[in-house]
Amino acid sequence: MMIIMGSQKDVMALFAERDLRQLFSGTDGWNIEPVLRSAGTYYRISRDKWVGEEVTLVAVSFDPSPTDDVFAAFDNQPDGWSTRTKKYLLVPQAADTSAIPPHIRVLLMQAFAFTEGKLVWLTKKKNAMRFVPQELVKEEKAAA
């Protein structure tokens, strides 16, 4: 007999879902559903409004520079999804977002970032490495 303890989900997906729950709160009526796609991790986030259903599609990428296959899934929406669906990409902090099309909004993860080309977990534990976002480094150099 085998006893499985813990979650069957990937830990990184749990952190991504936590960020999504903070951005799209259930108290505001948002419903977050994972969508199975071969290209990666996607979520359909929706809520009912008096004018109809508001739908958002969110892709999650842990790549330093998100690839075109992530964006292609936004164009291949299932029947019944509005063309007015908002599109977001959830990426770690300091990811290269320069190739992301302008109609896709970027959301930054709170738990992960890239530093020196490596994906790091941002933790509040006392022995953890300190991470300074690139924006702050650029601002400090410009001010000097």
Judge contact between 135 and 108, C-beta under 8 A.
no
User: What tens digit of pLDDT does each residue of 112-138 get?
Assistant: 888 888 888 887 665 555 655 655 545
**Angstrom distance (rounded) from CA 136 to CA 139:** 5
Q: Which residues of the chain have pLDDT under 70?
A: 1-9, 37-40, 76-83, 124-144
User: What tens digit of pLDDT does each residue of 80-92 get?
Assistant: 555 578 899 999 9
**Angstrom distance (rounded) from CA 33 to CA 55:** 11
Residue 90: which of 78, 104, 101, 77 has the closest Cα? 104
**Angstrom distance (rounded) from CA 93 to CA 115:** 9
How many angstroms separate the Cα of 144 from the Cα of each of 126, 131, 132, 140?
30, 20, 17, 6
